[in-house]
Amino acid sequence: MMPSERGPRVLREGPDPLLGQVVNGKFRIIEEVAAGGMGKIYRAEQLPLGRVVAVKVLHSRFTDGHEDPAFQKRFFLEASILSRLQHPNIVTVFDYGSIEGVAEEAYFMAMEFLLGETLHKRLKREGPLAPEATIGIMRQIAKGLREAHRQGVVHRDLKPSNVMLVPDESGEETIKILDFGLVKVLRDDSEELTKEGSFLGSPRYMSPEQIAHGRVDLRTDIYSLGVILYQCLCGRTPFEADNAVHILMAHLHTPVPPFRERSPDVAVPEVLAALALRCLDKRPEGRPATMDEVLGGLRQAELELGLSGGGATLTERSMPAGRLPSIPPATDLGALPPTMPQGQPAAPARRPLAIIVGVIALGTLGLAAGIFVESKMTPAPRPAAPATASRPVALGQYRLEIDSEPSGAAVVESGNVLGATPVGVMIDNAAVASAPRRFVLRLPGHQPFEITVGPARDPSVRRVATLAPVTAASVPSPLAAAPAPLAAPPRPPRSDPRPRRPPRSTDPPSGDSDIRLHR
């Protein structure tokens, strides 16, 4: 058939030929509600049920085989996976397939039509969220991802714009996870559905192993969830820059900034800060191994903050925090997290994005090497006694390196989170001679550990804390007041200690947009 004889070109320039049409005799297209570089989303009516649905249509330029042939596979993979992921916190897919009766090949996916706003818009309007609201949102996201992981599926593009907050008749909000377009099926590693020399993702929410093209497993989603938790707590993501490459390199090499550095006027609860920092560990094995462990950490936060925990399941309430039973996803042996008996995935490959990226990485590694050379590796797992008047006072300063077993614990001083272990701190001998400094190490699923330091004559000292797991007897009752850490000052009320401030934009120019980088 000659081009002049062909029917309308789907989604090309000019009037939209789908408006008012019935797709495959089932879905009457009513109006366009969203459009992007890869397709459009319409509000439609499902016949003869009269149900309002959202119809996602793949842009025709991705169906002609010239730009990205694998995109068709990603589209059908997303549709087939979502159609079998039946969970209250994941958007429901009703139907999908090729659009019949059009000149050019096009594809559609019909799913539930959601009225609400994305978490991206909520954070942009309100800024940091209260701890109770943050825990409620994180719990629902984690439950939805847990179901996906049980099916052997990794989202790989988790970000606030892919999280919808849908109010119900009572005013409560249900979280829906959207857009599994970059989904990864762990049990099928025969083929990567990305173009050679490129990758897809959202810079501010990508994990280090995803950036480096290493092995992707469920802990990639845990890292992205950690970025969202960090953003909900202080209103900003850990790493922001005008250049996407700078953000990616920060994920690879830059320590996570302390919350007080990103938002000095926001008080972040220590227990939530510790959970976020653990999820943001650059090493996959340093993060929670499963979403069950994340849910346990959220439950522990509720207990310490004295919250009701109405959204927790009976299992989550009865098990020790951070130690909920794990259900392995249907996946291959090499993709299982390290707590699974089958083994541990290989460390992700660290390949530079470009020559300039390599230069930046070498500079970062050189600085890190200089810091470690200065450190004196003298383990002392027990807290030191405070300095006394009879002890000679050393002059000057020394570097204290605080580490823990296991690593990734939040180091807290006077309510401020300094970072996740290992952490380096400069100690002034004259100051600690009269007032020793106290640091509390917190890690979900483990009991707090306090380190007290006084003067030292060595230029560098290393302290390693062995963190004891939480036992059933050590979990505080929600009806009882949580005991204060050893020698720590009493905590202020936990209702909502954060001062209110005007909403701020959380989206710099490089923002939430997906990227496609070529090597």
In the three-class reduction of DSSP (H, G, I as helix; E, B as strand; rest coil), residue 480 is classed as coil
Give the C-alpha separation, 515 to 510, whole Å: 10
In the three-class reduction of DSSP (H, G, I as helix; E, B as strand; rest coil), residue 467 is classed as coil
Give the C-alpha separation, 201 to 506, whole Å: 18
Residues 6+ apart with CB under 8 A from 80: 96
List, edge to edge, every strand of the sheet that includes 117-118: 117-118, 163-167, 173-177
Give the C-alpha separation, 159 to 447, whole Å: 31
Where in the sequence numbering do the catalytic residues fall? 157
Provide φ and ψ at 336, rounded to 5°: -75, 150
Give the C-alpha separation, 205 to 191, whole Å: 24
CB atoms within 10 A of CB 251: 24
Q: In angstroms, how far is CA 23 from the centroid of its own chain?
A: 37
In the three-class reduction of DSSP (H, G, I as helix; E, B as strand; rest coil), residue 407 is classed as coil
Q: How many CA atoms lie within 13 A of 180 on its CB side?
A: 29
C-beta of residue 227 within 8 angstroms of C-beta of residue 280: yes
State both tokens at 240: 């922001």
- Residues facing 42 on adjacent strands: 32, 55
